[in-house]
Structure 1
Amino acid sequence: MSTLTALARAQAVATGRAQPIATVRHLHVHDHPMVLIPLAMAGEANAPLAALVGTDPAEPELLVVTQPRDRDERFRFADRLGQILTAYVDSFTDRTEEIPVDRGKDVRTRYADAPQLWVPNPAGVDFLRLFGRSTRFRSVDGEHPVPITVPLLGRWLTFFANSAEVPGSSLLLNAVQALGLHWATGQSGAEDAQLGVLLAWIEQGAAAARAVENGPVAGPATDPDFDNKVLAPLIERSAPELPEVVRTLLLPTWDRMWRTLNLLRRMPVGDRVRQRWDGDKDAYTAFAQHVAEGGAPQPRRDGAVAAAARLQRLESAASRYAVQRAFDDPLVLAEYRLAGAAFAGTVTLAAPDRVDDTGKRPVLRPRIMVRTGEPVRVEPGTTLTSPSRPSQKARVVSVTRVHPPTAAPSLPASAPAPAAPPSSALPAGPDEIEFDVLLELSGGMGRKLVAEPGSVPAVGERLVLTTLSEEFRRGGALPDPAETPWTHGGPPTYEESPA
């Protein structure tokens, strides 16, 4: 738990209301999402009992398995769920858009939008992953055939579940984590996993949250008492009222899911959310075309090289997502300021037309001086970035500790940089101590020896600088699967016995 989140939780306890920990929404909320609330019997890891699904808050469709241990009935459930889901995902294939590539020399085509699936909690994501794994390899012919929609359902559920592992992806979202990303309550993380309680903290406060603690579960597991006292007798005698009982159990969660969506829609969206949604559209386009072309289902498990490549992509996505959230949201960036990875200050001097002619050809290298009252824990030579100019790099030339009201030194364009004191000489001092940070800028100013207007921070501008960067980092090279040792899937090696 971060420092500011811990503070927000303490304030939530004191005030009895959930506290915002974000100023913008960090995920894409679709105008036409599909909500899916799965339900399984307690103790049955992958035996579906019911699902409430749909794209219209007023018209959910209820799917019920009256005998959860009956294989044929489970596959009828999967067949109908597959029909609903495939109809939804296929509805986004009728419009395409052209995306320029290779600096505008060529274009590629992708679907103009992508589907979005919502479940109540992380356990719902896990259920979909398991259900997808149990259905995507089913045969549509042979001894025990299933409808063609069953393996298709499994492939799509696996695609959505895999996308949920990618930080920043919005193809499959769960309401508990979406709310927890933007609000902090005065209860534990385990208690936040109950959607009804979490939403009550945000909408009404702690008193309302206590009132709904024992309300209907959000799935996918049912309450054991409900199983023993209500569900088991209904299943045993094949009671016709079972669907209505299940509907009554799920409807409160259905209502809370749509209230969650409306609550998130009211927040202003972060600037980089659209960029991440474009990546989701690319992923959806690639998989939809793979399915349409008759491609094979996802493997049961990744090989060694494929697993390493996937881990590399996930780590890269996590790093990029953390930086994008910080650049979009001052509250998130404040965590990095507390940790010394960022600081805010005011530009006191600027030489926007400074040219460095010490190399083979002259290059534009403006310098600015930033004065800050925050501790500066970066070494000279460190490269910083400002969220307001993410394509521009600022190299730290020197850091000087000053005591107000000392006037800022002059900054002639050709003057050599002052000697930089060692970082050990720059402790976080009392409030009256400030720092002058001399920075040399590169990038984001055009291709000429004169900076484009507004590309160099002006005197008086408030600036946030951080060691975080959105710059693309190429992953390490991975071997061909055939070149890995037999312990990692490659071919075994044999030594010739001596003659």
Structure 2
Amino acid sequence: MSLITTLARLEAVDTGRAQPLATTNHRHLSPHPLVFVPLTTAGEAGAPLGALVGTDRETPRLLVVPQPRDRDLRFAFLAELADIVLPYIDAYAADVEAAERNETDPETGKRVKVEVELCADAPQLIVPSRSGIDFVRLLGRSMRFRRTAEQDPETPHPAPPRVPLLGRWLTHYGERSRVPGSSLLLALTDVLSRHWATGQSSLEDQHLGALLAWIDPPDGESGAEAALRAELRRDGKGQLLCPPAGPATDPAFDNKLLAPAIERYDRARTALAAAEDGIEADDRLGELTAAERQIRDLVESRTRPTWDAVWRGLDLLRALPEGAHTADRWTRDRWSFTGHRDRVLAGEPPQPRRDDAVTAANKLATREREQARLEAQEALDDPLVMAGRRLAGEAFAGEVTDVVMAYSEGKRPSPRPLVTVRTDDRPHFGERAKVYRSLGGKPQAAEFVEYARHEGDGTSDAHSHPDQSDDPTHALGSLVVLRVVDKMGRGKEPETGSVPEKGDLVCFTLFEHEQRGGAKLPDPEETPWTHGGPPGETDAAAPRLEVQPDAVTEEDVL
């Protein structure tokens, strides 16, 4: 946790209201997201109880599994979910635009630009909390390998036709959610926690009702009081007025309401199966319908408050202006969505249960690179986020007090102007440290040369490692001398606007704005045996270590 986040949390406790951590929205929000509020049976994460899903705030679709242990009813739930989600995805997959992408020419091995299709937009899935993302991953893993009757007529318990396809899409969305900055699948509690600091713990922030109570408490009530009421207050039947954000349920709801309703449903279904004539069957069918309607009402009573809370949270986020780099990250999401669409259309098999060594290494490298890029872009887009980096000594801002033109040594001297900046920040410089500033959206690099400490007579004493704590004139700020090294054009004189001028306010960072790619990994087919060998193949010539049981000794026998 950064210093500025800690200060914001302390201020939230003091004022009784959540404090902003950002002034812009750093996550893309689709105009028409698909909101998914799942509910599962307690103790059985893979047994869905129901869900509210849809893109219309006023008319969500309610899906219910009256008996979660019944495989056929679970498949019917998944088929109905597929009938809602897949048309939503297909609507975005059909709208494409022309785009250029760098690819390797198989003949020359050089990188060339190729015109390809890119989806003009991508579908966005929003769940209430982080546990909802885990549930989406679980659904994808349990569905994408299911066999349908068309694929294998002899398979036991065949899945409905579109269930495996939905599993592949949910798996892709679950994997994409692990990439920092991605917005294809968002947990609303995580997004709200990124933009506001509350006076409670990060674990308590996963309760959507309590989090919203801190951010937007009712009139005349503090955030702490509203959050406590959202977490604990119950009605006359002992049920929570603000149910958890899903997919978990409250034990009091399970024991007092849900369990008797499911038991009533089981009795009605058994009685209907045992009915001997039509009149008795009609009566039993009426009892079964009533029992099922009761379960539907119970599921809706637990999911509707969370559904309304999700849209309320989206309203709060939409009130913030979008960050400058948010659209760029969404473009990468669009490429990801388009790539998976192409794999599905090409008839490729589902994602494997376990990644091979090269794929796993590429995923890890991508996540590390995107995390560094996200942190840099958020700081560049948001002065409040940049303030946190300045407090941490990772950036500094100030006024340019002097610019001295200098040139590099060599046959063709290049401009290397020395820029002196007065700053009140305390950046953590190393010897010849590189710093960067944004110039026309591109990073311009400079080298740290020296500090210049103020003296009482108005002169300065240049030195490399000042002890600012002993400087009685530190209140005047420190003078930092930098040497600009690029983005000044190819001429002997710098291009206009490429060098700061005296009196300009500038902000330099010690972190890079653009992340470099890592080392090139071998193709999966060329994976060495030390890392599992080529996927799906075994190398008989490679040595294999077989685990043998330990030999029995006297100490093993009593």
Same fold by TM-score greater than 0.5: yes
Pair 1:225-2:270 in alignment:
no
Aligned to 1:23: 23
Aligned to 2:106: none
Give CA deviations for 1:70-116 in whole Å, capped at 9, x if unaligned. 11110111111112111111111232223345699764330111111
The match for 1:118 among 91, 115, 126 is 126
Relative to structure 1, the CA distance from residue 108 to residue 226 in structure 2 (aligned partners, 3 Å threshold; closer, same or farther) is same
Aligned to 1:400: 452
Alpha-carbon separation, structure 2, partners of 1:39 and 1:133: 18
Quick one: which amino acid aligns to residue 254 of structure 2? D
Give CA deviations for 1:382-428 in whole Å, capped at 9, x if unaligned. 1101245542111112222224662579xxxxxxxxxx734365658
User: What TM-score, normalized by structure 2, do the two folds share?
Assistant: 0.82
SS at match of 2:493: coil
Aligned to 1:49: 49
Relative to structure 1, the CA distance from residue 437 to residue 284 in structure 2 (aligned partners, 3 Å threshold; closer, same or farther) is same
Quick one: which amino acid aligns to residue 448 of structure 2? V
Relative to structure 1, the CA distance from residue 396 to residue 201 in structure 2 (aligned partners, 3 Å threshold; closer, same or farther) is same
Q: Do 2:3 and 2:392's aligned partners in 1 also have CA atoms closer than 8 Å?
A: no
SS at match of 2:506: strand
After TM superposition, the runs of 4+ consecutive aligned structure 1 residues lying more than 6 A away are: 102-105
Structure of higher CA gyration radius = 2
Root-mean-square deviation (CA, aligned residues, Å) is 2.2
Pair 1:208-2:226 in alignment:
yes
Alpha-carbon separation, structure 1, partners of 2:319 and 2:64: 34
Instruction: Using the TM superposition, give the Cα deviation of residue 486 of structure 1 relative to its aligned residue in structure 2, in angstroms.
Output: 4.5
Quick one: which amino acid aligns to residue 491 of structure 2? K
Aligned to 2:487: 444
Relative to structure 1, the CA distance from residue 92 to residue 213 in structure 2 (aligned partners, 3 Å threshold; closer, same or farther) is same
SS at match of 1:391: strand
Alpha-carbon separation, structure 2, partners of 1:312 and 1:252: 39
Q: Do 1:40 and 1:46's aligned partners in 2 also have CA atoms closer than 8 Å?
A: yes
Pair 1:68-2:80 in alignment:
no
Alpha-carbon separation, structure 1, partners of 2:413 and 2:120: 44
The match for 1:291 among 344, 349, 367 is 344
The match for 2:173 among 147, 154, 160 is 160
Instruction: Using the TM superposition, give the Cα deviation of residue 206 of structure 1 relative to its aligned residue in structure 2, in angstroms.
Output: 2.6
Give CA deviations for 1:468-496 in whole Å, capped at 9, x if unaligned. 1122312123344444235634535457x
Alpha-carbon separation, structure 2, partners of 1:404 and 1:467: 30
Relative to structure 1, the CA distance from residue 184 to residue 429 in structure 2 (aligned partners, 3 Å threshold; closer, same or farther) is farther
Aligned to 1:346: 399
Structure 1: 5+ residue runs without aligned partners?
Answer: 410-419
Aligned to 1:485: 529
SS at match of 2:51: strand
Relative to structure 1, the CA distance from residue 425 to residue 210 in structure 2 (aligned partners, 3 Å threshold; closer, same or farther) is closer
Alignment coverage as a number of residue pairs: 483
Instruction: Using the TM superposition, give the Cα deviation of residue 169 of structure 1 relative to its aligned residue in structure 2, in angstroms.
Output: 0.3
SS at match of 2:186: strand
SS at match of 1:148: coil
Instruction: Using the TM superposition, give the Cα deviation of residue 457 of structure 1 relative to its aligned residue in structure 2, in angstroms.
Output: 1.5
The match for 1:421 among 458, 463, 467 is 463
Instruction: Using the TM superposition, give the Cα deviation of residue 368 of structure 1 relative to its aligned residue in structure 2, in angstroms.
Output: 1.4
Q: Do 2:373 and 2:513's aligned partners in 1 also have CA atoms closer than 8 Å?
A: yes
Alpha-carbon separation, structure 2, partners of 1:393 and 1:249: 54
Quick one: which amino acid aligns to residue 225 of structure 1? A
Alpha-carbon separation, structure 2, partners of 1:463 and 1:44: 56
Quick one: which amino acid aligns to residue 230 of structure 2? V
The match for 1:149 among 158, 162, 176 is 162
Alpha-carbon separation, structure 2, partners of 1:133 and 1:62: 23
The match for 1:334 among 368, 382, 387 is 387
Relative to structure 1, the CA distance from residue 427 to residue 341 in structure 2 (aligned partners, 3 Å threshold; closer, same or farther) is farther
Give CA deviations for 1:237-256 in whole Å, capped at 9, x if unaligned. 11131111211211111111
Alpha-carbon separation, structure 1, partners of 2:101 and 2:542: 47
Relative to structure 1, the CA distance from residue 486 to residue 362 in structure 2 (aligned partners, 3 Å threshold; closer, same or farther) is closer
Alpha-carbon separation, structure 2, partners of 1:362 and 1:101: 37
Aligned to 1:414: none
Q: Do 1:376 and 1:426's aligned partners in 2 also have CA atoms closer than 8 Å?
A: no
The match for 1:475 among 518, 527, 535 is 518
Aligned to 2:138: 130
Aligned to 1:391: 443
Give CA deviations for 1:358-389 in whole Å, capped at 9, x if unaligned. 22423233331111222243134111012455
Alpha-carbon separation, structure 2, partners of 1:104 and 1:347: 42
Q: Which moved more, 1:477-486 or 1:85-94?
A: 477-486
